[in-house]
Homo-oligomer: A and B are copies of this chain.
């Protein structure tokens, strides 16, 4: 006798896959983000998951290239998208004459990175991006629009208080220039980005190795630690008398941004200037953003972005400045789940479960068809022997109402409706079910 062998059902490490009750919450977060982006006037875009490899590799350095999934099929060298910025650059260059500018678009979907899987790092994850792109120059107000969009999005996501941290690349680079360290700008920015994770002492040691002297290190650390109100920080920036053009431009831009944010009806408690945020990417040229959940600083930055001078330099001679932010939803969801912060009260997709006690399939479906027609999620429960068992199945499913059809109910043309949240039970005329569950 030959025994049948099975392939062990597993997925690759570094990929997130949820049970339905978690998926429902994940989808609600996705929907909430999308609604916020649309409320703020962004248009949807959905670029292919697979693109020509030379397009996706155009911009990336060696380090990034290692992370990109590439393969050959037929004559085509293909790659899986690893972000939405490169596809956006390609799209705007390709469709330049068909788009209206400023082009405000959002894209929500999966991106792929062949990283070594480790806790909190995913090889396939959802990114939720908004960007505003214009021709030749982009008005400063759009950076404030991005702050307003971030505010709207996180306010509606309902994850507790959050802080939008704002900085300007030109401040740090100007200050580094002033200290005579301009040849090391990239490395220094990358170190500053690590302060939160590894601490100032380690960063100071790294600085030493890089040939930054103690005096310079102290000045940099003092600079990025400038705390206080927005007005305090702006005052300090001026009092430093840095006398460097890049720095001065940065001051002017951040003052402008502060003024524009003032127009946006954003509570003062939701945003601040933080001179310590640096953003790893070379890509940003002016304003930069990072968002943290105030109650969960250990989550680190849950959203980041900024302004860039030129989106599409590899694809077009057109100058396309832009500004935007990106939320890494898979990582954020994973953190919320790990910390037991998912709101399982939100988990119901189903509103009414009809339980026919006996051969009332016909009546059960009359009710279900009626509910569905009124946009109420409804289904019939067949499984389980006896009412008690059936109610227990219904309870586990997370449904809000149970509608029981039995002999008595049929005789009296009324249906017993049980609210699974409150335990309350009512006898409702069959024709009134829709309005009963709608108003509850």
Q: Measured between C-beta atoms, what is the minimum distance from A29 to chain B in Å?
A: 12
A19 at the interface (CB under 8 A from B): yes
Stretch at the interface among A68-76, A243-251, A338-346: A68-76
Q: Measured between C-beta atoms, what is the minimum distance from A75 to chain B in Å?
A: 11
**B-chain residues with CB within 8 Å of residue A152 when the two chains form the complex:** 372
| Residue ID in chain B nearest A259 by CB atoms | B361
Q: Measured between C-beta atoms, what is the minimum distance from A364 to chain B in Å?
A: 8
**Contact between B378 and A39 (Cβ–Cβ < 8 Å)?**
yes
Number of copies of this protein chain within its complex: 2
In the bound assembly, the distance between CA atoms of A95 and B349 in angstroms comes to 20
Encoded as 1 (CB less than 8 Å from any B CB) or 0, chain A from 374 to 398 comes to 0111110011000000000100110
Stretch at the interface among A45-53, A214-222, A228-236, A285-293: A45-53
**B-chain residues with CB within 8 Å of residue A366 when the two chains form the complex:** 265
Stretch at the interface among A165-173, A176-184, A313-321, A423-431: A313-321
**Contact between B372 and A100 (Cβ–Cβ < 8 Å)?**
no
| Residue ID in chain B nearest A69 by CB atoms | B73
In the bound assembly, the distance between CA atoms of A110 and B50 in angstroms comes to 11
**Given A39-B378, A40-B372, A43-B23, does the pair A50, B265 have CB atoms closer than 8 Å?**
no
Stretch at the interface among A3-11, A197-205, A273-281, A412-420: A3-11
**B-chain residues with CB within 8 Å of residue A112 when the two chains form the complex:** 49-50
**Contact between B50 and A6 (Cβ–Cβ < 8 Å)?**
no
A283 at the interface (CB under 8 A from B): no
A141 at the interface (CB under 8 A from B): yes
A223 at the interface (CB under 8 A from B): no
**Contact between B110 and A49 (Cβ–Cβ < 8 Å)?**
yes
**B-chain residues with CB within 8 Å of residue A315 when the two chains form the complex:** 6-9
State which residues 108-145 of A face B: CB under 8 Å.
110, 112, 114, 123-124, 139, 141
A71 touches which one: B35, B58, B71, B372 (CB < 8 A)? Answer: B71
Chain B CB within 10 Å — which of A4, A38, A375 has the most?
A38
Stretch at the interface among A86-94, A185-193, A296-304, A400-408: A86-94
Q: Measured between C-beta atoms, what is the minimum distance from A431 to chain B in Å?
A: 15
**Contact between A44 and B24 (Cβ–Cβ < 8 Å)?**
yes
Encoded as 1 (CB less than 8 Å from any B CB) or 0, chain A from 51 to 81 comes to 1101100100000000001110110101010
A269 at the interface (CB under 8 A from B): no
**Contact between A376 and B39 (Cβ–Cβ < 8 Å)?**
yes
**Contact between B46 and A17 (Cβ–Cβ < 8 Å)?**
yes
**Contact between A45 and B71 (Cβ–Cβ < 8 Å)?**
no
A102 at the interface (CB under 8 A from B): yes
| Residue ID in chain B nearest A43 by CB atoms | B20
| Residue ID in chain B nearest A73 by CB atoms | B114
**Given A26-B46, A100-B396, A265-B369, does the pair A41, B379 have CB atoms closer than 8 Å?**
yes
In the bound assembly, the distance between CA atoms of A73 and B91 in angstroms comes to 28
- 5 closest A-B pairs (Cβ-Cβ)? A41-B379, A71-B71, A265-B369, A20-B43, A9-B94
Name A residues whose Cβ lies closer than 8 Å to a Cβ of B: 4, 6-12, 15-20, 23-24, 26-27, 35, 38-41, 43-52, 54-55, 58, 69-71, 73-74, 76, 78, 80, 89-91, 93-95, 98-102, 104-105, 110, 112, 114, 123-124, 139, 141, 148, 152, 260, 262-265, 312, 314-317, 349-350, 353, 361-362, 364-366, 369-370, 372, 375-379, 382-383, 393, 396-397
Can you list 29 contacts pairing A with B, beta carbon distance less than 8 Å?
Answer: A6-B315, A6-B317, A7-B58, A7-B315, A9-B90, A9-B91, A9-B93, A11-B47, A11-B48, A12-B48, A12-B51, A15-B48, A16-B48, A19-B95, A20-B105, A26-B46, A27-B46, A35-B375, A39-B376, A41-B349, A41-B350, A43-B349, A44-B349, A49-B110, A49-B112, A70-B71, A100-B393, A148-B365, A263-B365
